[in-house]
Chains A and B, each alone.
Chain A
Amino acid sequence: MGETNVKLASINPDAQKARDLLRIVIVGHVDHGKSTLVGRLFHDTGSLPDGKYESIKAMCERRGVPFEYAFLMDALQAERDQGITIDTSQIWFKTEARDYTIIDAPGHKEFLKNMITGAAQSDAALLIIDAAEGVREQSRRHGYLLHLMGVRQVAVAVNKMDLVGYEQEQFDLIEEEYRDYLRSIGVEPTFVIPVSAREGDNIANGSKSMPWYKGPTVVKALDSFLPNAPLVDQSLRFPVQDVYKFDQRRIIAGRIESGSLKVGDKLVFSPSNKTAKVQSIESWSARDDFTPPTEAVAGESIGITLDEQIFVERGELISHEEDAPIETEVFRARLFWLGHDPLTAGKSYKLKLGTFETPVTVQKVDRIIDTSDLSNSESEQVERNQVAEVTIRARRMLALDEFTNNGRTGRFVLVDNYDIAGGGIISMEGYADQRSMIMATKSTNITRVEHGVSIEERARRNGHKGGVLWFTGLSGAGKSTLAVALEKLLFEKGYSSYVLDGDNVRHGLNANLGFSPEDRAENIRRVGETAALFQRAGMLAITSFISPYRSDRDRARAAAGDSFHEIYVKADVETCKQRDPKGLYKKAIAGEIKEFTGISAPYEEPDSPNLVIDTAETPLEECLEILINYVERNFRV
């Protein structure tokens, strides 16, 4: 029987020290020499395994082609036979400074999903441009996608300088054109290096053929990149990956995406908004002298137990109370689409947000972005390999961050059928965090007082039921005009009714609110509650607010229950622009008013309004008649 002892004598403690590791992705247009550069890098730094050079030579001879360094990475027969990279590959490499994982990505448009797969794993990127062909479609798209995915460190290699006679002029032209492009998307490359991968110029060694170039070689440029540190100093974000009960312990397991936590911390679980304290941090070790940690930081896969047995599930996002994530049902995203079928407005997909999964609908394709010139176009669909801005709505509350605040909890993927079909980064532009609304019931220990008069008694006395007529629609659609006229007509017919209008409530009830998305949402929440009070008092409240967001209107509906009637005062943006009674559209178009509904902020049409009044098509008198009839039908007793 063989002995199974472990030998632990240490001869060289320094050699045991784990070296830093940096992951570099090589991207760029098809055939511009990415794989060749990796092969050459290995050759010139003496990193090829024994016999590899000879075996590549033999492969090339068998195929009757000149020596191809690219065969080091292009390992599949199909890749070698066609001289093209199909799938991304990884290889390990070291310089004196540190270790590298070199990720070779395919340049062909057809394999963009594989390029994304490679690029998403990298700390930094080397973008290759063929000196003879210049900046091409994928050179730009890859640059754009790197930026979108949050890869901030980029160097550029202008390759195949041998094909342009090592001329500085051609290099300068390409450098200028590509720097301009990168600058327009907010990227500053660390270096732009003229190289010949095939001949080995400026890869690991300098170049005799390009004495005019004074900058670093590719290897030096790689060594100048910095490793991406885990987000330890940010707010705590700890998605629940699973809950285990293998023994007496009920362990909540997951990986801390950012921030840190310690035993005793009070945690909030979003979106359920439950709270509990960390009782212990669990981990397993075979060592006898092991003491469990009392603190854990970003990057660690851990488990915790809680002081209270609250019910939590995979998908909840754990944070501290004071800096909890955004809660919303809707968000905006910039995404890339890889699906076989186009992404289509109105269609449903599965959202994967960290460990949370839920069905969502694409509410709107806001714009398609052409990554070549950054121009925009409109469409209902996002085709494969396109980049677009979209608005996405879930059927339940989500806990998330904006990508600019947290690169890890501010990104998501969409699944179409069985396939991951796209990925995107989150923005809340124009949308409010719902957290404060959800948490609005701050006072506890409240019991409602029973009224001495019932709803029915009030209705009998008044001759009509109480209710909320919630007018929603664009500015200039005619909400206020109709509301005031209706109020007068109702008064004449013996109804008690009262109009709640934007400017009026902002003078009193809502005087402390501004125009941030959160304040706007709070404004509507208070109006909704006030209208509900009028309704319970037996009156008809007519509210006249743009109220562009479904979540706000849903909340108002919840306040008044069945007595809530959503009335969509409908007119298209063009009509409203022409009416422009207060000159607001003009100012919004000129950019003087920011986030103006219909121009620079969204208007979410009602899903199933109780009544639609189309003021673009119908004269005012007729509109009023429809309204009066509606009220008589629904509220008269």
Chain B
Amino acid sequence: MDRLDQLESQSIYIFREAFNRIENIAMLWSLGKDSNVMIWLARKAFFGHVPFPVMHVDTGKKFPEMYAFRDRYADEWGLKFLREECPPIEEVDQSLPPAARSAARKTAGLKKAIEKYQFNALFAGIRRDEEATRAKERVFSPRGQGGQWDFRDQPPEFWDQYKTDFPPGTHIRVHPLLHWTEVDIWAYTQREQIPTIDLYFAKDGKRYRSLGDKDITFPVDSTATTIPEIIEELRTTKISERSGRAMDHESEDAFERLRADGYL
């Protein structure tokens, strides 16, 4: 087994644990490279099926290419697709800086959707290498009623024994991609020939490394027009993946506070 085989096997194991131990679970689909890999892995774990709803919490501000991609593959991959809308931006705390406010809006949409469907758990495609507080996450991460993350007292997690016993009312985030890196995602996308949105490839010297809302996501300088070129670029770059995401940079603890409050 090579490295990608090992990563894949671990993710499949996580999917199957969650599906067996937790009732009423759904997957979050952000349409980006990570959640596409996540769907792919679910199909592997469940032999071609995705046996739970796949939900896009829509800000309405994604790139048109992303919506086109979503509509096509929700159908082609036979997903039980759900689209949930975020509340209008006017309803979100006006004192927040613009990007944080956008993120807070997404968190609010997420909470609303969880409430609506009474999901006990959500699969989310975050990775430890994306950002320093995500690096401290658990695979099975319990959340408070409102989705809050108590990062000061996380459960122990070892020997692939995850926390699967919860008092009623606990919400769980399950992270099947936590142990992957950005390069792993691309190498796997290449190996498995997983469809990908074109925005990730360079046009006029720029490409998106991470896709968020249109107004708060910026492309990076790049000449990579193929996946191998992206991988090559990532092996030497010293620019962090989320540098084009404004919400991370508004203050030292901006992202920590967003996450403590329930952001992915």
Chain A contact residues, CB within 8 Å of chain B: 1-12, 15-16, 18-21, 48-50, 52, 59, 62, 72-73, 75-78, 86-92, 101, 113-114, 116-117, 119-121, 149, 230, 241-242, 244, 246-247, 249, 251, 253-255, 282-284, 286-287, 297, 299-301, 303, 314, 338, 350, 352, 411, 413, 415, 417-420, 423
Contact = CB atoms under 8 A, between A and B. Distances in A.
Q: Which of B43, B161, B240 has the most CB of A within 10 A?
A: B161
Interface in B166-208: 166-167, 179, 181, 187, 189-190, 192-199, 201
B22 interface: no
B196 A4 contact: yes
Contacts of B72: 4
Contact of B6 (A10, A49, A113, A299): A299
Nearest to A112: B156
Interface residues of B, number: 79
A8 B193 contact: yes
Interface stretch (B8-16, B91-99, B103-111, B114-122): B8-16
Contacts of B49: 246-247
Contacts of A116: 156, 158
A59 B197 CA distance: 37
A75 B136 contact: yes
Contacts of A299: 1, 5-6, 9
A8 to B, nearest CB: 7
Contact of A418 (B4, B154, B166, B231): B166
A297 B1 contact: yes
A59 B251 CA distance: 11
B69 A284 contact: no
B249 to A, nearest CB: 9
A89 B228 contact: no
A248 B155 CA distance: 39
Contact of A121 (B65, B158, B181): B158
5 contacts: A2-B68, A4-B73, A241-B20, A286-B192, A297-B1
A282 B49 CA distance: 13
B48 interface: yes
A363 to B, nearest CB: 22
A505 B196 CA distance: 76
B16 A301 contact: yes
Contacts of B90: none
Contact of A86 (B69, B152, B179, B195): B152
Given A8-B226, A50-B238, A244-B46, 15 more contacts: A1-B65, A2-B199, A3-B198, A8-B227, A16-B231, A87-B152, A90-B129, A113-B155, A246-B47, A246-B51, A254-B16, A286-B192, A300-B9, A413-B161, A418-B166
B168 to A, nearest CB: 10
Contacts, number: 202
Contacts of A338: 156
A289 B159 CA distance: 36
B187 A16 contact: yes
Contacts of A411: 159
B253 to A, nearest CB: 5
B12 A419 contact: no
Contacts of A352: 161
B196 A6 contact: yes
Interface centre among B159, B193, B227 (most CB of A within 10 A): B159
B20 A314 contact: yes
Contact of B226 (A11, A92, A244, A283): A11
A284 B3 contact: no
Contacts of A283: 44, 47
Contacts of A120: 158-159
A15 B228 contact: yes
Contacts of B16: 241-242, 253-254, 301
Contact of B47 (A6, A77, A254, A282): A282
Nearest to A339: B156
Contacts of A62: 252
A415 B165 CA distance: 8
Max chain B Cβ within 10 angstroms of own Cβ: one of A2, A62, A78: A2
Contacts of B239: 49-50
B250 interface: no
Nearest to B196: A6
A418 B167 contact: yes
A537 B221 CA distance: 93
Contacts of A86: 151-152
A241 B13 contact: yes
A7 B231 CA distance: 13
Contacts of B89: none
B74 interface: no
A589 B199 CA distance: 76
A2 B69 contact: yes
Contact of A92 (B17, B129, B165): B129
Q: For the complex of A and B, list the 5 residue pairs with the smallest distance between their C-beta atoms, beginning with the closest.
A: A2-B65, A75-B132, A120-B158, A18-B3, A113-B156
Contact of B151 (A76, A91, A413): A76
A7 B201 contact: yes
A87 B68 contact: no
Given A1-B64, A7-B226, A18 B196 contact: no
Contact of A242 (B20, B133, B161, B253): B20
A149 B51 CA distance: 35
Contacts of A72: 132
Nearest to B240: A49
Contact of A420 (B163, B193, B197): B163
Contacts of B166: 418
B32 to A, nearest CB: 13
Contact of B19 (A73, A121, A242, A413): A242
Given A15-B232, A16-B228, A4 B20 contact: no
B215 interface: no
B47 A7 contact: no
B199 A117 contact: no
Interface in B117-164: 128-129, 132-133, 135-136, 138, 151-152, 154-159, 161, 163
B132 A4 contact: no
Contact of B198 (A2, A117, A246): A2
Contacts of B196: 4, 6
A78 B159 contact: no
A21 B6 CA distance: 10
A1 B235 CA distance: 31
B75 interface: no
A280 B257 CA distance: 50
Contacts of B44: 283-284
B45 interface: yes
Given A21-B3, A76-B256, A413 B159 contact: yes
Contacts of A4: 65, 68-69, 72-73, 195-198
Interface in B19-71: 19-20, 43-49, 51, 63-66, 68-69
A16 B186 CA distance: 10
A470 B44 CA distance: 56
Contact of B193 (A6, A73, A350, A419): A6
B187 A75 contact: no
Nearest to A298: B1
B222 interface: no
Nearest to A15: B232
A512 B165 CA distance: 49
A423 B158 contact: yes
